[in-house]
Amino acid sequence: MSAPSVEPVPLPAKRRVAQLAMLAFAVLIVMAAYAAVGMGIDQKIPSGMLTYGLGLGGFMLAAYLVLARFAPWADPLILPLVTLINGLGLVMIYRLEVGAGGRGGASATTQLLWTAVGVVVFAVTLIVLRDHRALQRLTYTAGAAGLLLLVSPLLPIIGEDINGARIWIKIGGFTLQPAELAKLALIVFFAGYLVAKRDVLALAGRRLLFIDLPRARDLGPILITWGFSLGVLILQKDLGSSLLIFGTFIAMLYIATQRTSWVLIGILLFVGGAVLAGLAFDHVAARFEVFLNPESNELFYRELGGSAQLMEGLFGMSQGGILGTGLGQGHPGLIPLAFSDFIFAAIGEELGLTGLMALLMIYGLLVERGLRTALAARDPFSKLLAGGLSFILAWQVFIIVGGVTNLIPLTGLVTPFMSQGGSALLANWILIALLVRMSDAARKPPPQAIQDEGMTQVFQR
């Protein structure tokens, strides 16, 4: 058969040119940011600019080529947006490293290395996983793997206790945060489970006042997840992950059933759990105390669980104001852990409100592309998976940004793609690969029949 005679407007188009242009634009912005950092700190363009810039550009070009070969119809914006966020994170870490004179734990080289690993994992995921629906068959496997990863830091030999939270495992010389990978596995599990059960969850039940109450046996999974996320919170002192996983489960339940009652039940359960934890555990109560009264002197100077970090972040952002102090000209080094949990505050100081808004817009656009993929997807499993993955990204940004700006109590979570940390970067690149894979399937035109019209038709799978 000759080339398929398509109409002149095969919408949605592949948009390769747009994608490549945006990708180049993102890399250029990152290089400009390196230059600005150098100018700000010691009035000359840093020698590392070309290394870091071209390094990032090279990785992204490789990612683009893999994407163009294995997922040609994928959304043209996802990769450029991620590139910019990842690149700005690299610049900020570089800036903090230079500012601290190499002490203090920030290391741009390590982060660049992990970015490279992330891109490789992205490529491998795209190449190996040709049809995301294969994941649907792994529903319960993914669930089991997720739970196992989540509890693995509690195991005696491989578990590690760093900074008071037992969320690390040590394999060989590497430390990993398995919760980051667990969240992906759990989303796959939730999506597969909800596709099978959503009708019974939505339809069976009694009506009480204004809300539909689900049946007790359908309530089982939500109660188990609730109990489990509370268990993680208690045993690992990891507030962030439990909030993240529980919130995502509620959102996916809502997407699948469109029942508000589930959201209400979920919120009530979470508030109940948080209050209980606050009463029972010191470290949770300390977070609430800091949240309510960060400016109190006593809390500021408290050795463990004080408000110093939060307040330094707030001071930094107020120093930045609308336009920021300029890259390399602020003092983000004063904020403890500015390169990981508090990178948002560091950016706020140097780029100001204008820069933060641009950054949040970029995250917003990324989530929008993900939700758009969910809308356009043609089977319920992809809809739920894409919706859940986009939601967890948005939810994670909300939790950490809300924490840093003292809108909600601070819980330790990384800012996706920006904070220094290998496991998070790795997991988020896999997440993006899954979104790209699904957007490719959703935007691809309907399968072409091999022969024209006949009794039997063969479709590409």
Partner 1 sequence: MSELTLLLIRLAFLAVLWFFVIAAVGVIRTDLFGSRTAAAAPARKAPKPVKAPAKPKKGKGEPRQMVVTGGPLQGTTITLSETPITIGRANDATLVVSDDYASSRHARLFPQDGQWIVEDLGSTNGTYLDRSKVTRPTPVPLGVPIRIGKTVIELRK
State the minimum distance, in angstroms, from the CB of residue 381 to partner 1: 8
- Tell me whether residue 25 or residue 301 sits nearer to partner 1 (CB atom): 25
Q: Which two tokens stand for residue 47?
A: 């020698």
User: What residue type is 222 in one-letter code?
Assistant: I
Rounded Cα gap, residues 236 and 284, in angstroms? 12
324/403 with CB nearer partner 1:
324
In the three-class reduction of DSSP (H, G, I as helix; E, B as strand; rest coil), residue 169 is classed as strand
3-state SS assignment for residue 134: helix
Question: Greatest CA separation found in the chain?
Answer: 81
- The nearer residue to partner 1, 330 or 416, going by C-beta atoms, is 330
Smallest gap from Cβ 421 to partner 1, in A, equals: 24
Cβ 267 to partner 1, closest distance in Å? 24
Sheet (strand 174-176) strand order: 159-162, 165-171, 174-176
Token duo for residue 443: 């935007």
3-state SS class at 162: strand
Token couple for 308 = 């110093």
Instruction: Give the residue carrying structure tokens 């859940």.
Output: 388
Whole-number minimum distance, CB 17 to partner 1, in Å?
Answer: 10
- The least CB distance from residue 436 to partner 1, in Å, is 15
On whether the CB atoms of residues 211 and 267 are closer than 8 A, the answer is no
Q: How far apart are CA 406 and CA 215, in angstroms?
A: 38
End-to-end CA distance of the chain: 18
Q: Pick between residue 284 and residue 343 the one whose CB is nearest to partner 1.
A: 343
Contacts of 34 (CB under 8 A, 6+ apart): 46, 48, 49, 52, 53, 91, 94
Smallest separation, CB 308 to partner 1 (Å): 28
Least gap, CB of 169 to partner 1 (angstroms):
37
If the CB atoms of residues 28 and 128 are measured against partner 1, the closer one turns out to be 28
Q: Which is nearer to partner 1, 36 or 108 (CB)?
A: 36
- Is the CB of 56 or the CB of 337 nearer to partner 1? 56
Retrieve residue 164's tokens: 């008071």
Binding residues vs partner 1 (CB under 8 A): 4-13, 15, 18, 22, 25-26, 29, 32-33, 36, 39-40, 43, 76-77, 80-81, 84, 133, 195, 198-199, 323-324, 326-327, 329, 351-352, 354-355, 358-359, 361-362, 365, 368-369, 375-380, 383, 445-449, 453, 457, 459, 461
Match 């995301």 to its residue by tokens: 132
Burial class (CB in 10 A: 0-12, 13-18, 19+), 369: buried
Query: Rounded to the nearest whole angstrom, what is the least distance from the CB of residue 143 to partner 1 in the complex?
Result: 20
Nearer to partner 1, 16 or 69 (CB): 16
**Hey, what amino acid is at 277?**
A
Phi first, then psi: give them for residue 205, nearest 5 degrees: 150, 175
Q: Which is nearer to partner 1, 238 or 349 (CB)?
A: 349
The residue type found at 313 is G
Smallest distance from the beta carbon of 35 to partner 1, in angstroms?
8
Nearest-approach distance from CB 59 to partner 1, in angstroms: 19
Q: Which residues contact 234 (CB under 8 A, 6 or more apart)?
A: 277, 281
Distance CA 36, CA 98 (A): 13
Residue nearer to partner 1 on the CB measure, 183 or 383: 383
* Cα separation, 124 vs 144, whole angstroms: 23
Which one, of 250, 251, 228, lies nearest residue 149 by Cα?
Answer: 228
Of 22 and 431, CB closest to partner 1: 22
Please name which of 363, 369, 381 lies closest in space to residue 15, comparing C-alpha atoms: 369
- Least distance from partner 1 to the Cβ atom of residue 401, Å: 17
